[in-house]
Amino acid sequence: MGDEMWRNQALAPFASLPWQTRGRLHAEPNSPSRSPFQRDRDRIIHSTAFRRLKHKTQVFVYHEGDHYRTRLTHSLEVAQIARTICRVLHLDEDLGEAVALAHDLGHTPFGHAGEEALHAAMKGHGGFDHNAQTLRILTKLEERYAEFNGLNLTWETLEGAVKHNGPLLKQGRTLSQLPAAIVEYCQDHDLELGGHAGPEAQVAALSDDIAYNNHDIDDGLRAGLFEIADLMELPLVGEMFSIVTRKYPGIDQARLIHEAVRRVINAMVEDVLAETRRRLKDAAPKSVADIRALGRPVVAFSEHMAATDRTVKTFLYKRMYEHWRLNRSHSKARRVVAGLFGLLFAEPNCLPSPWRERAEQAETQARARLVADYIAGMTDRYALDEHKRLFDLYE
């Protein structure tokens, strides 16, 4: 076994044990001081794609305010929640954190509006899926290492990045219906798309739900899209605002929001811990393979909290994501992305080097994918500037 310090972690037998990793597509020697999953986490943090998340939209475009969540701050918040849950359950914190930090790398500028526009532009060329784009970034598009493209992450981290929301082959879905990037990679490094991911990836998925629901409430209130009074009928959320108001009469709104939101996050985390312990007790897994073989998630909300989560999501969809102010912003974002794709696909000589050289040599399908890669990698700010440079006659 060797005497590496990372082999002495006190993990549950059903955790993803780093000393039993299925390894990397390109074999590398282990580090004596960092586990394979720690190295994955570090490679993600140091990647170009991760730095770009600083100026990629979560909900609000970058110029709308400095205090709103970006993809970067959201990813850090998801990772913090994931580490907490993994630690309590004696799962591998580094793997949970790595999946959490990587899960949004494939998003376009302008959030889901940008993705919708790029998917529409790529119709007939394989479409666009941010989950598949994350895999492309992690396995191909990052060009940092001398011996391989991508970050050469472990099987477990890549499995988590692709399958953190559950099996991809389900409800009659076939391999031919999946994005090409996922299918192609799995030919060399099978990520077992028909099954659930390990427990750490499941933790990252639930942490994502907890983070974005609560922080969108915070951002929505800050933006004036709805008021605290509008939240009072929501299960759990309204209860926590009432508790804080009673405990701290006269508290200013900023403190009230923070105190209530952190209580909601804590309640959701405690619910995940309780429900997951219950499921673990029933399943009695002896290994991570047992977790994958269960056929259902082991990390989950209770039925009551899942219903609460759905109610909060419905509220946010109606009152925030479909707000007229955001609809205007999203409409502009879709036009920017569609315009960029149309011009750069038709005139690849407008791409900067080395993108131009690659695009001009590529056949139609490959050129479309290359242009999609270029646009998907843009920050909000760069996309707006690039659109202005290409379409404003006075630039």
Asked whether 375 and 108 are in contact (CB, 8 A), the reply is yes
> What whole-number distance in Å separates Cα of residue 166 and Cα of residue 286?
21
Taking 90 as the threshold, does the pLDDT of residue 69 lie above it?
A: no
Taking 50 as the threshold, does the pLDDT of residue 1 lie above it?
A: no
Chain-centroid distance of CA 220 in Å reads 20
Of 6-20, 62-76, 381-395, the range with the lowest mean pLDDT is 62-76
> What whole-number distance in Å separates Cα of residue 197 and Cα of residue 157?
10
What was the pLDDT predicted at 4? 64
CA-based nearest residue to 89, from 263, 289, 298 = 298
Q: What is the DSSP string of 213-276?
A: HHHHHHHHHHHTSS-HHHHTTSTTHHHHHHHHHHHSTT--HHHHHHHHHHHHHHHHHHHHHHHH
Is 0.85 topped by the overall pTM? yes
pLDDT in tens, 226-279: 999 999 999 999 999 999 999 999 999 999 999 999 999 999 999 999 999 999
> What whole-number distance in Å separates Cα of residue 186 and Cα of residue 234?
43
Taking 70 as the threshold, does the pLDDT of residue 28 lie above it?
A: yes
Q: For the chain, give the percent of residues with pLDDT over 70.
A: 95
> What whole-number distance in Å separates Cα of residue 81 and Cα of residue 260?
17
Q: Which helix (H) or strand (E) holds 113?
A: helix 111-121
Bigger pLDDT: 205 or 170?
A: 205
> What whole-number distance in Å separates Cα of residue 231 and Cα of residue 302?
22
**What pLDDT band is residue 60 in, cutting at 50, 70 and 90?**
low
Is 341 in a helix, a strand, or coil?
A: helix
Asked whether 35 and 15 are in contact (CB, 8 A), the reply is no
Taking 60 as the threshold, does the pLDDT of residue 290 lie above it?
A: yes
Cα–Cα separations (whole angstroms), residue 259 to 212, 254, 297, 312, 315: 17, 9, 31, 18, 20
**What pLDDT band is residue 170 in, cutting at 50, 70 and 90?**
confident
> What whole-number distance in Å separates Cα of residue 372 and Cα of residue 341?
7
Asked whether 81 and 110 are in contact (CB, 8 A), the reply is no
Sequence-distant (≥ 6) Cβ neighbours of residue 337 within 8 angstroms? 108, 109, 110, 113, 114, 117, 118, 121, 375, 383
Q: What are phi and psi of 116, to 5 degrees?
A: -60, -45
What was the pLDDT predicted at 63? 47
Is 70 in a helix, a strand, or coil?
A: strand
Q: What is the mean pLDDT of the chain?
A: 93
Question: Looking at residues 29-33, what average pLDDT do you find?
Answer: 90
Sequence-distant (≥ 6) Cβ neighbours of residue 279 within 8 angstroms? 298, 299, 300
What was the pLDDT predicted at 289? 96
What's the token pair of residue 306? 């899942």
Q: Which helix (H) or strand (E) holds 212?
A: helix 199-223
The per-residue b/e assignment along 159-169, b for 16 or more CB within 10 angstroms, e otherwise, is bbbbbbbebbe
What was the pLDDT predicted at 2? 46
